Structures are given as structure tokens and as C-alpha cells.
Amino acid sequence: MFKHLQGDLFGGITAGIVALPLALAFGVSSGLGPSAGLYGAIFISFFAALFGGTNTQISGPTAPMTAVSMVVIAGIVAINDGDINKALPAILTIFLLAGIMQIGLGLIGLGKYIKYIPYPVVSGFMTAIGVIILVTQILPAVGYYPKEDKEYVGQFMADAEEEILENILREEAGEGILVLEDFEETIRRASKITEADMLKEAKTLAAKEASGVVGTFKVLSRALRNINWLELALALATILIIYGFKRITKAIPSTLVALLVVSGVAYGFGLNYRPIEEIPTGLPLPNLEIITGFKLSSITPYVFTSLTLALLGAIDSLLTSVVADNMTQTKHQPNKELVGQGIGNSVAAIFGGIPGAGATIRTVVNINSGGKTKLSGMVAGVLLLIILLALGPVASQIPAAVLAGILVTVGIGVMDYKGLKAIPYLPKDIKLGPIALSSEVLIMLSVMVLSSIWNLVYAVGIGLVFASLMFMKKMGDLTATRSDVRPLQREKLWADEKDFPKELQKEVFIKHVKGPLFFGSTNEFQQLAEQIPNTASTVVIRLGRMQYMDQTGLYAMEDVLQDLIKKNITVLLVDILDQPRYMMERIDIIPDLIPEKHIFKNFDTCLHWLKNHVENSHKP
């Protein structure tokens, strides 16, 4: 590990510096504050490097993980009266569960299968992440915060009173108080509702209504009428420096330059800007409420969300591992990498950090700066811890608009432009009325739109189901097209069939099965079997190109064979491969329906049998 000490130190320090502004920005964007982003970057970077399976990978909060975390946090805060401290144990428990799930995915060896997730789903999701981050940063970039707009909050006062009363009734129901029998208790509790209570609840409802992409557009007109020009100037200056400084040099991270320059100017000139939340000083402490206050019922509805976080982190990390492999000519260990990421996310959750994954840009920076081993990722984590301890009060003075500007560039950069550019050129294989679309495009756009305006978690699930169904249909169509079951004289002959005796062609029907026989193609297989002419007394089924058979295909094969045998047709199997044979032996198709003497290794031996048994049977 210490052979490349100098390169690892420089690579880790450089990657840590690049990670700093992003960690702060992702923390603020998530809703847990900048400290949560820093804690996540510190612990995930260190422990994922220590236990992971990619030597040069730098891990920490990423845009996709933050976007999903944002949804989780907003949902739980909303059902906890808008109190982030009250909701925090449940939030961190979900993050911890996601980390544990990642460890489990690695231990059971699922790392190598992550690569099979369809590209249109990943593309649509990544573009949606970019849209979500970009749109949701419009309000902080212009200095508009719905909770602080008195006129807007005032619209929710009546709803706030109704919500508080409903909470009282729910509390009484939980305490076993029957409202009809003890209505005086309800009146007593309701009389204690103050104007401050209603205002607090109204602010929570206002923030919830204005959250996400749809919420942002709902209040956008109000935001544009109430622009804070100083905040907008700081955000725009940050964006211009990030893109402009890259044209000068890429040796120094432009994001860090923008953070230091714009924050320095704003603080140095005493501008009246809005700073980020205060970053706690001292060492991070574990949140023991995760364990002591654990309630299974509080996280059961979010198990699927935790699994989504785990899978998303796995995909994000392993894609970055592939990039690292290509740059370093090495080979990562996918399952070990998942275990390392899971440990990093679990530890981060215990200390109040947001979840993360392998970060491509930070990993590339590490490699280009000389990082060679796991030490580089650990150094990046330690550097961020030192910055937290030494510069926490200074970092607390960073303008919120600067982080909004940084996130705008992150949102623009994370979109999958490669997938978007390919849209006009993909084959249009689906017709929706008069409109023809590519199935890949439809999947990608569905995931992108549903993720942006509805729910990230459900959108990915729907995308995976849709992609699976389209794959089944395509494979079924392909198998049906290639598995020609027609009379020999109308079928394109295989090379070894060109000299097939003419006197046998009426009585021998040859079926070519090309491609897998699975649940997507069984219907076509059964229909093709019905085309066997009445003159045929023998059917030869050539299976040399049927590499795979699932259970549905197995029983379809059994039904066809039984039907043929009932018609007194002799069935011969030629060149059956190992997997289909194994399946057919499990339910005794071989040897009960098809005896061993009717199974041939090649067509020549089968032809010899046909000449002896079919042709000779007609000789006088």
C-alpha cells in the first residue's frame, strides 16, 4: 500500500479538495445541511476505500444518491410536523438500512449482475437527476425561500389549523381516547393551539408544496417577482467561474476556485448575503437514537426506498469502477466494492451523514494526480475531517447562493447527453396510434418524466418492468422469426440437408429451433408445431442452436411432443445441448417420451436412421 505513498497522498489531497464544495452543496440540497454532506464524504470516502474492491476509487455523496435522499428526507420531515430533528432518527435508519443492504448484495455475489440493468433506465434516471437538481436550485439561486414569504405562507393557515386538529385526533386515537365519549379532552387540547403553532405548521405545508420540480414551477412566478439580486449575482458569478476557469486550466478544480473567490468577495466586502447553515465544530458524534429509538413500523414503508438507494449506489459505484479500470488497466472486484460501499454508507448514517457512492470525477482526479492504491481514498476522507475540525466556522460563512450555483453546474453535467442525442436515430419499433417510437426512447423518457415530476423510486421500478417486458417481446419475436418451422422444400436448407433424399421429404418434417425457448417465445413455438403436414410420419427437431430452455419452454416442448406422439408421429432430437437436455431429463421427457435411441449427436447419424427405418419401410 505504501509503495506509491507520494502519489497516493497527492491524489487523495487533490480529490479531497475537489470533494469539499460538492459535499457541502449536496448536504444543503438534501435538506440535512452542509455538515451531513461533509460527514458523508468523510466516512464513505475512508471506509469504502479501506474495505472496497477498487483501489483508486474516491467515494462520497453523489448527485443521484442526493436526489433520492432528498425525496426520503422531505417525505419523513413532512410527517413529523416539519421538524428535522424529530425526523432525523428515522431518516438515518433508512440510510443505515440501505448500507446494510449493499453489504448483503456484495456478500451474496450480486455485484457482477448490476451491469445488466438496461441502459435506457439508467439514462432516463440520470437525466431526471440532472433536471431535478437544476430546477430545484432555481429558488435558492434567486434568493427565494417559500417558508419566508409571509403572503405565501398565509395561504396555508387554514390548512395548518386543520392539520393540527387532525394530529390531535390521531394522538387521542393512539392513546385510546374515544372522541365521542371525551370530546371535552379534544376541545381542551385544541384550545391550546397558538398562532405560533399554526404559523409553524403553515410554513411546513408551504415548504412541502413548493418542493421538487412540480413545486418549484408552482411558485416560480412568485420567486421571479421577489428576486434577491445579490443572491442571483453570487450564483451567476459562481457558474461563470466554474465554466470559465476550466478554459484557462484544469490543473486546479474550477468548483473550488469559484467557492473560494465568490465566498471571499462576499465575506470580504461585508455583503448582506444569506450564509449556509452553521457547521458544528468538533469531532462527529454517533447518533445513538438510530438504535435506541428504532421502531420497525417507522421504516417498513421505506424498505423499498432503502433497497433503491442500495441498488442506485451499487450501479453508481460499479460504473465508476469500470472507468477506473480503463484508466489504470486494472480489474476491480465488484462484490468486494459493494461491501465496502455498504460499510461506508452504514458508518456515515450512524454519524449523521447522507449516503453516497463512487464518484467518477473525484476518482478521475485522484488517478490523474498519482493515486494508485486504497490509501488515496482514505487520505481524501482524512483531509475532509481536518478541514471540518479546523475550518468549520469559516465554512459556515459560505453563501447559500454559491452552493446553489455549484449544484446548477452539477445538474447540467450529470445529464446523459449521449442518450439524448441518440433519440432520433434509434429504430422505431413501437406504434402508438399514428406515432412510431423506439421502445428504448419510450423507456428512457418514461423514467425521466416520472422521476422528475412524480417519484424517483417508483419511476425506476416501472422502467425496469417496462424494459423487461419489451425485452421478452423482442426475444420472443426474434426467436419466432428465426425458428422456422415449415416444410423442408419451402425452408432454407442447412448445409448438411442439401442432399436430403427426395423420397423422404413427404414423410419427414424437419423443425429448426434457433435461439432460446423461453416464456417469451413458447406461443410461437406451439403455433409453428401445428404447421406439420398430415403426410409426415416422422419429425426431426434440430436443437443445436437452442442454447437455453426455461421452465415455461420446457413444458411447451412437453406439450408439443405429447401431441405429436398421440398422432403416432415419431420424434427425433438432433444435437441437443447440455442445458436443454438437463431440463428435459428432470421431468422425464427423456427417456419416457423420447427414448435415447431417438436422440442423435448430429444430422448425419439421424439421416442414416431415417434411411433405415423410414425409407426402408416403403420398400417391397
C-alpha closest to that of 223 among 133, 157, 130, 140: 140
Q: Return the H-helix or E-strand segment holding 532.
A: none
Which triple of cell numbers denotes residue 39? 460527514
DSSP code, position 146:
G
CB-neighbour burial class of residue 115 (10 A; exposed 0-12, middle 13-18, buried 19+): exposed
Q: Round to whole Å and give the CA distance between 197 and 35.
A: 28
Q: Tell me what pLDDT residue 353 has.
A: 94
pLDDT in tens, 498-534: 778 887 878 888 888 887 887 766 766 776 567 777 7
For residues 334-339, give the mean pLDDT.
94
Q: Round to whole Å and give the CA distance between 492 and 507.
A: 18
CB-neighbour burial class of residue 260 (10 A; exposed 0-12, middle 13-18, buried 19+): middle
Q: Round to whole Å and give the CA distance between 519 and 549.
A: 9
CB-neighbour burial class of residue 422 (10 A; exposed 0-12, middle 13-18, buried 19+): middle
Q: Is 435 helix (H, G, I), strand (E, B) or coil?
A: strand
Backbone angles phi, psi at 544, to 5 degrees: -65, -20
Q: Is the pLDDT of residue 414 over 70?
A: yes
Decide: 143 and 227 in contact? Cβ < 8 Å: yes
Q: Dihedral through CA 589, CA 594, CA 599, CA 604, nearest 10?
A: -130
Q: Is the pLDDT of residue 168 over 50?
A: yes
Q: Tell me what pLDDT residue 620 has.
A: 44
Identify the band that residue 370 occupies on the pLDDT scale cut at 50, 70 and 90.
Answer: confident
Decide: 457 and 71 in contact? Cβ < 8 Å: yes
For residues 405-432, give the mean pLDDT.
84
The Cα angle at residue 585 between residues 582 and 586, in degrees rounded to 5: 90
Q: Is the pLDDT of residue 477 over 70?
A: no
Radius of gyration of the chain, Cα coordinates, nearest whole angstrom = 32
Q: Is 601 helix (H, G, I), strand (E, B) or coil?
A: coil
Q: Round to whole Å and give the CA distance between 44 and 350.
A: 12
- Cis ω for the linkage preceding 533 (within 30 of 0): no
Identify the band that residue 488 occupies on the pLDDT scale cut at 50, 70 and 90.
Answer: very low
Q: Which residue type occupies 105?
A: L
For residues 193-207, give the mean pLDDT.
83
Q: Round to whole Å and give the CA distance between 190 and 612.
A: 97
> Within a 10 A sphere around the Cβ of 541, how many other Cβ atoms?
23
Q: Is the pLDDT of residue 561 over 70?
A: yes
Q: Round to whole Å and give the CA distance between 346 and 98.
A: 8
pLDDT in tens, 1-41: 556 788 889 889 988 888 888 899 999 888 898 999 999 99
Decide: 604 and 595 in contact? Cβ < 8 Å: no
CB-neighbour burial class of residue 212 (10 A; exposed 0-12, middle 13-18, buried 19+): buried
> In terms of pTM, does the model score above 0.85?
no
Q: Round to whole Å and give the CA distance between 507 and 613.
A: 12
More confidently predicted of 502 and 584: 584
**Half-sphere exposure at residue 565, Cβ-oriented, CA atoms within 13 angstroms:** 14
Q: What is the mean pLDDT of the chain?
A: 84
If you average pLDDT over each of 247-261, 334-348, 490-504, which comes out highest? 334-348
Q: Which residue type occupies 30?
A: S
Decide: 507 and 610 in contact? Cβ < 8 Å: no
Backbone angles phi, psi at 76, to 5 degrees: -75, -35
Q: Round to whole Å and give the CA distance between 398 and 38.
A: 14
> Within a 10 A sphere around the Cβ of 602, how many other Cβ atoms?
12
C-alpha closest to that of 79 among 154, 174, 167, 145: 167
Pinpoint the alpha helices (H) of 483-577.
522-529, 551-566
More confidently predicted of 233 and 442: 233
How does 14-37 read in b/e, with b if 16+ C-beta sit within 10 Å?
bbbbbbbbbbbbbbbbbbbbbbbb
511: left (phi over 0), alpha (psi -120 to 50) or beta: beta
Decide: 306 and 92 in contact? Cβ < 8 Å: no
Of the ranges 196-210, 509-523, 590-604, which one carries the lowest mean pLDDT score? Answer: 509-523
pLDDT in tens, 172-188: 665 555 545 556 666 77
For residues 551-580, give the mean pLDDT.
88
Decide: 615 and 501 in contact? Cβ < 8 Å: yes
Backbone angles phi, psi at 501, to 5 degrees: -55, 135
Q: Tell me what pLDDT residue 167 has.
A: 74
Residue holding cell 465566498? 263
Q: Round to whole Å and give the CA distance between 223 and 138.
A: 9
Q: Round to whole Å and give the CA distance between 501 and 507.
A: 11
Q: 3-state SS of the chain: helix, strand, coil percent to 5?
A: 70, 5, 25
Query: What do you get for the CA distance between the two ends of the chain, in Å?
Result: 85
pLDDT in tens, 58-87: 999 998 899 889 888 888 887 777 778 888
DSSP code, position 361:
H
